[in-house]
Amino acid sequence: MIISLIGFMGSGKSSVGRRLADLLSFPFIDLDAEIEIRAGMSITAIFSAYGEPAFRKMEYETLSSVLAVGQDMVIATGGGTPVNPESAGMLRERTVCVYLSASENQLSEILSVLDNSNRPMLKKHTVGELMRARVPIYENTAHISVNLSDYTDGVPDDSAFDRIAGDIVAYLGEEKRVPGN
Ligand code: S3P
């Protein structure tokens, strides 16, 4: 089974993904880290040298080659991965796709305490602007949604991430048929 995590920047995709991978004994792949390794450049450097459309293409190509491995794994995507319809299609068809959703207020609070120096999209757009365009895409791409506000009102801590990962594993175990399986 391949589990992918989608959601806005700061929603906890990597934190939950690592825990999920541990619980399931699956390898964990962070798509942004894979892109940086392949490009030999940081996300910020890729955006400033080549721009967003080129980044989305690299993101699609990296996702495609990670999925081609075809074995059990957990993938944390970037916040804009499903914005490319081809990437969204692959996530929906070839993975069990989990959307970590949160309100604009909660995400703004979370992002205010994170280091966003490697998040070039936030230099050009507001959280609200990006969310209006993206939330429908996240909802249409995912098979399962988890709302952060069910776990904490503010910035999630380790225990919130542990509980989210535990609930996803329990849900997947209870489902007789999970998509992509
Ligand atoms: C992006 C989110 C980032 C990274 C890149 C673009 C976006 O990932 O892929 O900066 O468009 O939302 P995180 O969601 O892990 O910050």
**What is the 7 CA–ligand 1 centroid distance (Å)?**
9
Cβ neighbours of residue 119 closer than 8 Å, sequence gap 6 or more: 9, 43
Is 0.85 surpassed by the pTM of this model? Answer: yes
> pLDDT, tens digit, for every residue of 73-104?
999 999 999 999 999 999 999 999 999 999 99
**What is the 174 CA–ligand 1 centroid distance (Å)?**
31
In the 8-state DSSP scheme, what is residue 99? E
| Token couple for 82 | 């499903």
| Token couple for 2 | 């391949």
Residues with CB under 6 A from ligand 1: 9, 13, 32, 43, 78-80, 119-121
Written as one string, the DSSP assignment of 18-76 is HHHHHHHT--EEEHHHHHHHHHTS-HHHHHHHH-HHHHHHHHHHHHHHHHHT-SSEEEE
> pLDDT, tens digit, for every residue of 31-87?
999 999 999 999 999 999 999 999 999 999 999 999 999 899 999 999 999 999 999
For the chain, the average pLDDT equals 95
Closest ligand 1 atom number to CA of residue 30: 15
**What is the 152 CA–ligand 1 centroid distance (Å)?**
22
By residue count, the chain amounts to 181
Within 10 angstroms of residue 61's Cβ, the number of other Cβ atoms is: 14
Average pLDDT over residues 144-173: 96
Nearest protein Cα to ligand 1, atom 2: 79
Residue 173 pLDDT = 87
Percent of the chain with pLDDT over 70: 96
Cβ neighbours of residue 146 closer than 8 Å, sequence gap 6 or more: 98, 99, 100, 101, 164, 167, 168
